[in-house]
């Protein structure tokens, strides 16, 4: 039994790594792809790129709980394979699109049908021992994080090797198909832990009705509702400042004396004609903020899972969220780049805990036959924050400034932590 769940874990881990590398390989090329489609002007390209980027997580917000609840009834392994084959169809199909509207439709379809993360975690979770839920979720999240780091470089390599950006979509579709085959033939599922539907009416309408009922029953837990709010607030706190972070860096370095400093030496290696020293420093400084956060998050993913298994996922999630509050306050209160960099590193450490601890806590709140729905709800709260966080942050920034956006995120998260700490009753 021990070797069986571990084999399933490694099969799913590998499939998630391969699929996530593919999924992150094409996102950086949206602006160039839209320009090739005839979209003209920086503002129009930025608008279309933003809409296409947000379309998938926004549509996944509404579909993830439904697919999770359906997986509880009809099988988690088939849901993982269904999601990966949807990637093959919709992402592979992006290689044939000719207009921005067609690309948007493909992204909407991708979000609606190809959410592979919740069913993957559910498939492994129902097989893994109860005292390893956090570390299993953390290790699966590590595969996704590695994919996020490697994916853009992989996409650039494939585009250069094959001579077109469209070829990246075909490669991603092929990788997703191979991942689906790996899960189908290599993973095992305990079918006794599916939700029983004996005596219930059949048919599409009846199935959807019972699925909605399952989701409502999952959300009957105050603790799970509080987890959803905390996950949303943490992701919102990050997502609301990311789009305008470069503007914050520009204001910090505006008019600074940079000649003869380490910044000049560092940026001298990639100096190009037509760019000023200040522009090069601002670009490097912004990149470092994102880079240090990504590295900190990658290193902390697995430790957060183990920590949650040891001290309790609720206690660990509260502490994780408190670190995020401190990180937001630190970033909002400083005028020094070094302190801002430290705050971003702290934010990376905190954000690493969202997945392992939230899924671990949800696993404890929901019985095995309802775990897919619970994981889907948790996942949808994060994708919704990804979809709306940047837009809300961009709207608020002109009125309260980026520091005000950070403080707003910290206050919102602190309020959600209070809700989580007071929530007690699990699903009956």
Residues 150 and 280 in one domain: no
* Site of tokens 């305990």: 190
| Section 355-377 average pLDDT | 85
| Section 234-245 average pLDDT | 83
Residue range 80-94, pLDDT digits in tens: 999 999 999 999 999
Nearest to 253 by CA among 285, 275, 289: 285
| Section 1-28 average pLDDT | 86
pLDDT of 119 higher than 80: yes
Q: What are phi and psi of 329, to 5 degrees?
A: -65, -40
Q: What is the mean pLDDT of the chain?
A: 84
pLDDT of 240 higher than 80: yes
Model confidence at 428, in pLDDT bands (50, 70, 90)? very low
Is 33:165 a contact under the CB 8 Å cutoff?
A: yes
Of 165, 184, 203, the domain-final residue: 184
CA angle 380–382–383, rounded 5-degree value: 65
Which pLDDT does position 108 carry in this prediction? Answer: 94
- Secondary structure element (H or E) that encloses residue 173, with its range: helix 166-186
Is 180:88 a contact under the CB 8 Å cutoff?
A: yes
Task: Dump the DSSP string for 285-319.
Answer: HHHHHHHHHHHHHHHHHHHHHHHHHHH-HHHHHHH
Pick the residue with more confidence: 95 or 423?
95
Residue 143 belongs to a domain: yes
Which pLDDT does position 182 carry in this prediction? Answer: 96
Residue 213 belongs to a domain: no
Residues 60 and 131 in one domain: yes
Residue 206 belongs to a domain: no
Residue 118: alpha-carbon gap to chain centroid = 11
Range 218-222, long-range pairs (CB < 8 A, 24+ positions): 218/65, 218/69, 218/366, 218/370, 218/373, 218/374, 218/377, 218/427, 219/377, 220/427, 220/428, 221/365, 221/366, 221/425, 221/426, 221/427, 222/423, 222/424, 222/425
CA neighbours closer than 13 Å in the CB half-sphere of residue 286: 19
Residues 374 and 304 in one domain: yes
pTM > 0.85: yes or no: no
Residue range 57-70, pLDDT digits in tens: 889 888 888 888 88
Which pLDDT does position 132 carry in this prediction? Answer: 84
Residue 41: alpha-carbon gap to chain centroid = 30
For the chain, percent of residues with pLDDT exceeding 90: 33
Residue 364 belongs to a domain: yes
Number of domains in the chain: 2
Residues 31 and 170 in one domain: yes
CATH code for position 127: 1.20.1250.20
Which pLDDT does position 323 carry in this prediction? Answer: 96
| Section 366-392 average pLDDT | 84
3-state secondary structure of 346: helix
Residue 325 belongs to a domain: yes
Of 130, 159, 184, the domain-final residue: 184
Which pLDDT does position 12 carry in this prediction? Answer: 94
pLDDT of 415 higher than 50: yes
CA dihedral 106→108→113→116, nearest 10 degrees, is 100
Which pLDDT does position 3 carry in this prediction? Answer: 66
Residues 169 and 311 in one domain: no
Cα separation, 419 vs 410, in Å, equals 14
Residues 17 and 116 in one domain: yes
Which pLDDT does position 307 carry in this prediction? Answer: 93
Residues 273 and 361 in one domain: yes
Model confidence at 273, in pLDDT bands (50, 70, 90)? low
Model confidence at 50, in pLDDT bands (50, 70, 90)? confident
| Section 129-140 average pLDDT | 85
Pick the residue with more confidence: 261 or 221?
221
Which pLDDT does position 102 carry in this prediction? Answer: 94
| Section 162-189 average pLDDT | 91
Residue 201 belongs to a domain: no
Residues 250 and 140 in one domain: no
- Report residue 7 as tokens: 């084999």
For the chain, percent of residues with pLDDT exceeding 70: 89
Task: Dump the DSSP string for 241-254.
Answer: TGGGHHHHHHHHHT
Residue range 382-405, pLDDT digits in tens: 888 888 887 788 788 888 888 998
Is 63:111 a contact under the CB 8 Å cutoff?
A: yes
Model confidence at 427, in pLDDT bands (50, 70, 90)? very low
Cα separation, 98 vs 103, in Å, equals 8
Residue 334: alpha-carbon gap to chain centroid = 28
Pick the residue with more confidence: 11 or 132?
11
Residue range 347-365, pLDDT digits in tens: 999 999 988 899 888 888 8
Residue range 140-161, pLDDT digits in tens: 888 888 888 888 888 888 888 8
Residue 237 belongs to a domain: yes
Residues 122 and 230 in one domain: no
Residues 175 and 224 in one domain: no
| Section 368-379 average pLDDT | 84
Residues 53 and 125 in one domain: yes
Is 9:124 a contact under the CB 8 Å cutoff?
A: yes
Residue 202 belongs to a domain: no
Cα separation, 303 vs 48, in Å, equals 38
Model confidence at 426, in pLDDT bands (50, 70, 90)? very low
Residue 267: alpha-carbon gap to chain centroid = 31
Indicate if the alpha-carbon torsion angle 122, 128, 131, 134 is positive or negative.
negative
Model confidence at 203, in pLDDT bands (50, 70, 90)? low
Eight-state DSSP code of residue 423? -
Residue 21: alpha-carbon gap to chain centroid = 13
Distances (CA, A) of 394 to 7, 391, 397: 45, 5, 5
| Sequence-separated (6 or more) residues with CB below 8 Å from residue 33 | 103, 165
Residues 18 and 145 in one domain: yes
Of 184, 202, 234, the domain-final residue: 184
Range of the domain at 351: 219-428
Model confidence at 271, in pLDDT bands (50, 70, 90)? low
């Amino acid at each position: 039994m021990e070797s069986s769940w571990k084999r399933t874990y490694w099969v799913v881990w590998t499939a998630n790594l391969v699929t996530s590398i593919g999924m992150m390989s094409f996102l950086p090329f949206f602006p160039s792809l839209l320009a090739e489609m005839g979209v003209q002007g920086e503002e129009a390209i930025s608008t279309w790129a933003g809409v296409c980027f947000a379309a998938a997580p926004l549509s996944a917000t509404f579909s993830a709980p439904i697919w999770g609840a359906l997986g509880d009834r009809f099988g988690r392994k088939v849901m993982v394979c269904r999601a990966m084959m949807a990637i093959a169809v919709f992402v592979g199909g992006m290689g044939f699109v000719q207009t921005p509207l067609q690309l948007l439709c493909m992204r909407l379809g991708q979000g609606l049908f190809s959410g592979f993360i919740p069913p993957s975690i559910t498939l492994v979770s129902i097989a893994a021992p109860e005292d390893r839920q956090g570390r299993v979720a953390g290790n699966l999240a590590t595969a996704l994080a590695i994919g996020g780091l490697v994916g853009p470089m992989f996409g650039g390599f494939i585009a250069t090797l094959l001579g077109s950006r469209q070829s990246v979509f075909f490669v991603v579709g092929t990788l997703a198909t191979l991942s689906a085959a790996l899960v189908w033939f290599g993973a095992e599922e305990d079918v006794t832990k599916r939700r029983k539907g004996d005596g219930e009416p059949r048919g599409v309408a009846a199935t959807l009705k019972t699925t909605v009922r399952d989701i409502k029953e999952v959300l009957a837990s105050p603790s799970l509702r509080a987890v959803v709010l905390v996950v949303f607030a943490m992701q919102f706190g990050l997502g609301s400042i990311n789009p305008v972070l470069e503007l914050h860096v520009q204001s910090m370095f505006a008019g600074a004396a940079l000649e003869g400093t380490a910044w000049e030496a560092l940026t001298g290696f990639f100096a190009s004609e037509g760019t000023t020293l200040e522009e090069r420093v601002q670009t490097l400084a912004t990149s470092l903020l994102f880079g240090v956060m990504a590295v900190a998050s990658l290193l902390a993913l697995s430790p957060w899972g183990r920590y949650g298994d040891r001290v309790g996922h609720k206690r660990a999630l509260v502490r994780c969220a408190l670190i995020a509050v401190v990180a937001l306050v630190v970033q909002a209160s400083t005028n020094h780049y070094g302190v801002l960099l430290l705050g971003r590193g702290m934010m990376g450490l905190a954000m690493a805990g969202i997945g392992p601890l939230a899924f671990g806590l949800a696993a404890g709140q929901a019985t095995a036959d309802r775990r897919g729905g619970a994981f889907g709800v948790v996942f949808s709260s994060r994708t919704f924050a990804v979809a709306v966080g940047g837009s809300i942050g961009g709207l608020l920034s002109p009125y309260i400034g980026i520091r005000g956006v950070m403080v707003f995120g910290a206050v919102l998260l602190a309020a959600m932590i209070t809700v989580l700490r007071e929530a007690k009753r699990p699903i009956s």
